[in-house]
Structure 1
Amino acid sequence: MPEWPKNEQPREKLRLYGARALSDAELLAIFLRVGVKGKSAVSLAEDLLRQFGNLPRLLACSPEEFIQVHGMGLSKWSQIQAAYELVKRSLEERLAQDSVFSSPSQVREFLQAKIGALPHEVFLCLYLDSRFHLIECQELFRGSITHTAVYPREILKEALARNASALVVAHNHPSGNPLPSESDQDLTKTLIKALQLVDIPLLDHCIVSGTGFFSFSDAGLMKID
C-alpha cells in the first residue's frame, strides 16, 4: 500500500497507536500482507469480511470456502488459522495459570474462541484442580448442527481419570441463540447429580454462539431440587 500516507498503513498504524486502533479489515490485511492487481490488502480483507459476514464465520471457514474469494489461497488461509490457533492456546494457558473465578471473562473469551464459530455442536469438559485452575479442556462429544449426544458416565470417567476437583462443561449453539433448551436444563441437573456421587462439583454449564454466551451459574440455574 505504498500510495497510502505512511501513518495510515496498517503496520505503521499498529506501531503508532496499538492493535486496538485498527479495524477488522486492517488487522486482516497485516496477515494477507499484499493485495492483487487493482486491490490493496485492506480491500481484499474487506472482501473476505463481506463474503463470510463476520470474523467468527471467517475464522471457522474451510480452506475450500476461503479460496473461493478472489485473491485468496491456501497460504493466506493457513496464516490466518495459525494466528487464530495461537490466540486459543494463549487463552487456554491463562486458564491453567489462574483460577477460573479470578476472571470469568477469560472463560467466556476462551470458549467463544474455541467453539463459538463452529458449524456443528460440540461438548467440552474443562477439568479443574483444587485451586480451580484448568487441568485440561477436552472435546468429549461432537454432533450435528442441532444436536449432540452427551453421556454422563463418560464425563465421570474422564473427570476421575484426571483427578479433577471440579468441572465446567460447555457446548455451542450453531444457530446463534445461546439460550438453553429444556434438554440443556435437564442435562445440567443430571450432571450435577451424577458428579455429586463422586464428590466433584459442577461449577457451570456454558452455552456459546458466535456472538452470544449463556452461563447457568450466572442465571442461578445450578441448583437442583
Structure 2
Amino acid sequence: MPITDWPPAERPREKLLSLGAAALSDAELLAIFLRTGVAGQNAIQLARGLISEYGGLRTLLQLERERFCATRGLGDAKYVQLQAALELARRHFKESLTRSDVLENPTQTSRYLSIRLRDYPYEVFACLFLDTRHRVIAFEELFKGTIDGASVYPREVVRRALQHNAAAVILAHNHPSGVAEPSDADRRITRRLSDALGLIDVKVLDHLVIGDPGAVSFAERGWL
C-alpha cells in the first residue's frame, strides 16, 4: 500500500510535523530522506530493508560512495544529498559552539567533537582553539595516524595556537577501536602539550578521547 493511502497520523512527514523529528523511528526518518521507494516497496519498506541490510542507520550513513551508490534505491543524487545534510549538521553544531562559552556547554562540545572524529578508521588528533571568553575561534584536525596511533607534535600545536591568537584550547582525538579509555601515551602527550602551551600562556581546558559510544574527559577525571 502506498504511504499516501495510510492514515495521516502514520505518515512519516505528517507525523514529524505533528510530533517532531524525535518521535520518528530510524526507518521513518530515512524514508523522508529517500522520498520514494522502489518497485514493490514503498519508502518505509525500502528504509527498513536498508537498515536491516547494513545492521543499523549509522553504518548505512557511513558507507563509502561506491558502495552507497551501488545499493538499490540509492545512487549519486542521494549520496550528494546525504553528504550535504551531514555537513549541515556538523556546521550547525560548530556555529552553536562559536556563539557561546564552550565550558557552559560541555555536552554539546563533546557531541560536536564526537560527530567530527568518531567515525575515522584511524586516529585523528584535533584542537578547538578558543578566545579569552572560551568561544570557538577554529577547529582543526592537526595530525592523522594509523589505527594504532598518531604522531602529535607540540611545536605544531603551539604554532597554530599563536596563529589563531588563542587563549585556550580543547584537545581531542579518537580511538578507532571504539574504546574511549585514555592510554598512558594519551596522558603523556597531554602533559607535554600542556607544558608547551603554558609557555605562551595558552591553557589546556580539556582533552577528550572519543570512542563509540561516548567520550572520556581528562578535566572530569581531574587530570588537568
TM-score band, normalised by shorter chain? over 0.9
Q: Is the 8 A contact 1:59 1:84 kept in 2?
A: no
Q: 1:109 to 1:36 in 2, by over 3 A?
A: same
Match of 1:114 in 2: 116
Task: Indicate whether 1:125 and 2:131 are aligned.
Answer: no
**Amino acid corresponding to residue 149 of structure 2 in structure 1:** H
Match of 1:6 in 2: 8
Q: Is the 8 A contact 2:180 2:212 kept in 1?
A: no
Match of 1:84 in 2: 86
Task: Indicate whether 1:197 and 2:199 are aligned.
Answer: yes
Task: Indicate whether 1:210 and 2:209 are aligned.
Answer: no
Distance 1:140 1:47 in 2: 39
Count of residue correspondences: 222
Distance 1:181 1:151 in 2: 17
For 1:54-73, list aligned pairs within 5 A. 54-73=56-75
For 1:1-225, list aligned pairs within 5 A. 1-222=3-224
**Amino acid corresponding to residue 166 of structure 2 in structure 1:** A
Secondary structure in structure 2 of the residue aligned to 1:205 = strand
Q: Which moved more, 1:37-46 or 1:125-134?
A: 37-46
Measure how far apart 1:49 and its partner are: 2.4
Secondary structure in structure 2 of the residue aligned to 1:207 = strand
Note the alpha carbon deviations across 1:80-127, whole angstroms, 9 max, x for none.
Answer: 221111010000001110001111111011111111122222111100
Q: 1:39 to 1:12 in 2, by over 3 A?
A: same
Distance 1:190 1:132 in 2: 22
Note the alpha carbon deviations across 1:151-181, whole angstroms, 9 max, x for none.
Answer: 1110000000110000001011121111111
Q: Is the 8 A contact 1:60 1:118 kept in 2?
A: no
Q: Which moved more, 1:44-53 or 1:21-30?
A: 44-53
Q: 1:120 to 1:61 in 2, by over 3 A?
A: farther
**Amino acid corresponding to residue 178 of structure 1 in structure 2:** A
Distance 1:27 1:52 in 2: 16
- Structure 2 stretches lacking a partner, 5+ long: none
Measure how far apart 1:67 and its partner are: 2.5
Normalised to the residue count of structure 1, the TM-score between the two structures is 0.93
Distance 2:215 2:203 in 1: 22
**Amino acid corresponding to residue 147 of structure 1 in structure 2:** G
Q: Which moved more, 1:190-199 or 1:67-76?
A: 67-76
Note the alpha carbon deviations across 1:178-220, whole angstroms, 9 max, x for none.
Answer: 1111111111111111111111111111011232211111111
Q: Which moved more, 1:13-22 or 1:65-74?
A: 65-74
Q: 1:208 to 1:56 in 2, by over 3 A?
A: farther
Q: 1:163 to 1:193 in 2, by over 3 A?
A: same
Q: Is the 8 A contact 2:38 2:73 kept in 1?
A: yes
Secondary structure in structure 2 of the residue aligned to 1:70 = coil
Q: Is the 8 A contact 1:178 1:209 kept in 2?
A: yes
